[in-house]
Chains A and B, each alone.
Chain A
Amino acid sequence: MNVKLMTNETDVTGLKAGDAVSFSGIVYTARDAAHKRMTEAAAEGRPLPFDLRGAAIYYAGPTPTREGEIIGSCGPTTSTRMDDYTPALLDLGLKIMIGKGKRSKEVVDGMVKNKAVYLIAVGGAAALVKSRITSCEDVAYPDLGCEAVRKLTVKDLPLLVAIDSRGNSIL
């Protein structure tokens, strides 16, 4: 497969569903619990743990970090569980979502409206993803354990564009 290089600066409207990409850049981890808190904060006008404008969220909750390592195993989790919270985050500028599995119609509508893209990593490929993470920084909600928000720098993360910014899907 022809693989396109992608960073946080890539114009996501140029990506098409089915494109294989190798992503290098910054992603923030967030799962159900962090999404709930972020959307509640946004609804109440409180600050969010990171600037969502142009940001990439990776749906993942790693295993604990072992002594001397950057992070634990860190594969994608099922994106559907974030669907109820996602349209609000897209309206706040979220540009790139990385997870696994299908999305709801509401999410796809929000993606088209805000020109965002949804990529999938291979579910269960957590050791492989771990080997492509070069830094990890705690950002928010440490009480959530593996569900806390972390800022990751990744290098050459293999992904597929599952739904593009025009709403075309390969799933």
Chain B
Amino acid sequence: MYNCKDIVLRLSEAIDGALKKVDGDVLNFLKAAYENEDNERAKWALGQIIENDEVAERTDSYPCQDTGVAMLMVTVGQDATFDGPLADALEEGVRLGYKDGRKSIADPLTRINTRDNTPPVVYYDVVPGDGLTVKFLAKGAGSENMGGVRMLTPSKGRRGIIDAVVSIVKEAGANPCPPILLGIGVGGTMDKAALLSKLALLRKCGESSPDPDIASLERDVLDAVNALGIGAQGLGGKHTALACAIETAPTHIGMLPVAVTVQCHSVRHAEVKFNER
């Protein structure tokens, strides 16, 4: 049986740590981009981003002031039992994890702040067994505002998917803090594609899809996006996006949903496996 107090404590510690450190794989991609960039202004921006991420780690500071909305992707075994309500424990974990973070959550219409960065956005996946894994992603507004969904007709195919992503990234310009990562969901329904685009972002930065066709589409999307020349912070150059991950799901014979989640360079996430110590 899972102890809810233990869930609160471990989740909050993971969130607090994740918010203060940019993903190491992403930082390596940023350093490679800096070395490879010829555009003077873009290099200026990349240099500051790398310096910032190192200052943040050295001073135990938040690399970005937008510590985001907390997204939790929960994988729970159908045989798992709990000594209290799991949803409450997860929310309390977020509340504690954001104790020192910025409180960025408000009512959509009155704009009154909830003052503790809750509620998180939570998705559950029920699987066989009794495991419990929570993946946390801090999603800032600057990049999240630039995402989009396109409900294509099936005839648009592969080309249509690439064009849809390029149009969304082009429209976003400098706003989502490029260089960006792209999480793309293809298939399902409108909402399923959007969820897949978030799950795609949880893949290790730069890791290709195990499906060779999808891996090839990921490369083509990345090349097409980088040909836009938006570059770091919209200042030009070769690095609009560092990586692109695509997740797919079967869809209706009459649909081709494409969802794009844009992730800024300040990638902050964590994973907690509660059945392991």
Contact with A along B40-73 (1 / 0, CB 8 A): 1100110011011101100101111111000000
Q: Flag if B234 contacts A73 (CB, 8 Å).
A: no
* Residue B221 interfacial (CB < 8 Å): no
Q: Which one of B124-132, B172-180, B190-198 contacts A?
A: B172-180
- Do A145 and B113 have beta carbons less than 8 Å apart? yes
- Does B177 contact A60, Cβ atoms closer than 8 Å? no
Q: Which of A73, A145, A146, A160 contacts B41 (CB 8 A)?
A: A160
- Asked whether A127 and B59 contact (CB < 8 A) given A33-B111, A73-B65, A78-B142, the answer is yes
Stretch in B74-82, B96-104, B161-169 touching the partner: B96-104
Interface centre among A64, A74, A80, A126 (most CB of B within 10 A): A126
Say how far B45's CB is from chain A's closest CB, in angstroms.
5
Q: Does B233 contact A (CB under 8 A)?
A: yes
A171 touching B102 in the complex, CB below 8 Å, given contacts A101-B174, A127-B61, A131-B59: no
A 87-106 to B, binary, CB cutoff 8 A, 1 in contact else 0: 00000000000001110000
How many whole Å from B215's CB to the nearest CB in chain A?
Answer: 28
Q: Are A124 and B51 in contact (CB under 8 A)?
A: no
Please name the residue on chain B nearest to A69 by beta carbon. B61
Q: Within the complex, what minimum Cβ distance (angstroms) separates A147 from chain B?
A: 9
Interface size class of B (residues with CB under 8 A): 35 or more
Number of A-B contacts (CB under 8 A): 122
* Pairwise interchain contact A125-B41, C-beta atoms closer than 8 A: no
Q: A78-B175, A101-B173, A160-B235 are in contact. Are A64 and B41 (CB under 8 A)?
A: no
Flag if A126 contacts B52 (CB, 8 Å): yes
**Chain A residue with the shortest CB-CB distance to B113:** A145
In the assembled complex, the Cα of A33 lies from the Cα of B107 at a distance in Å of 13
A residues whose Cβ falls under 8 Å from a Cβ of B? 1, 18, 20, 33, 60-64, 66, 72-75, 77-78, 80, 100-102, 120, 122-128, 130-131, 145-146, 158, 160, 170-171
20 contacts between A and B (CB under 8 A): A18-B41, A60-B65, A61-B65, A66-B100, A72-B61, A75-B66, A100-B142, A100-B174, A100-B233, A101-B173, A101-B175, A122-B49, A123-B264, A124-B64, A125-B49, A126-B63, A146-B65, A146-B102, A158-B48, A160-B41
